[in-house]
Structure 1
């Protein structure tokens, strides 16, 4: 996008009109007002800095939701690596979780996603990965809102079954390497 005063003003108006939805989405992901507001602010700052990457006339809301989601994941990864260690004791005994597990997990997820029926895969990608609202996804798919919600729910349940995910403990390092990267190991 070439930046002219008119396109900058249009970009700003469109971005500001998406703020309530963006904040609601952040709240649904985080659950705390202060952190959600910080996440929205980070998202707006990144979007403003990258406005030349946005093509006017396309879906600003979807673009912002994608930035927000990616920013949240980046913050979560960063928080997972940060440890309070002012005396340097923990740093001296730190071990790193092998990166190949993440690649293997991604391969498993892709296989599981590919095994879903196409209508469920489409719905979960639109809502879960592309950041569209249920209403927008229903419009894109040409079906009822309840149908999209049902497809997304069935897809999530099926992915959890295929990947054998029972809760938050199933994310991150496996049982063998977790003690090596956790604070409990250091005593």
Structure 2
């Protein structure tokens, strides 16, 4: 039983770390957040398997983040920097988003949760997640003349996260 949970958590670890980074935008805080979350996941969710464990693990990371009171790290200093090229445009805009918007986009587009599952993780209505994702799409595409290539943020299931916030961890 423990070996299966250990293997499942090791498989989830890169995604949990990337999700924590999306919440904190700081590698050190993300690692500390995942570390403290793993203890809770291990002790409280031993009977969970598959997708239920994945939802529970992401929920624990989010709740640990909220309990630790880590301040949303959106920095006003980003506004004075030159506009980066290519993938850096997405990264800069992503980092400027409010935490709740980064979270909604990450859960639905990067990790492939449904709106309902993302709502369960975030503890809000499915409509709220939908509005947050819609707002993110609108914000990320508002200042560019061509459609933003949102397929850049999808996970390649065989290789793990591609050009997503997971790549920054």
Query: TM-score when scaled to structure 1?
Result: 0.41
For the pair shown, the structure with the greater C-alpha radius of gyration is 1
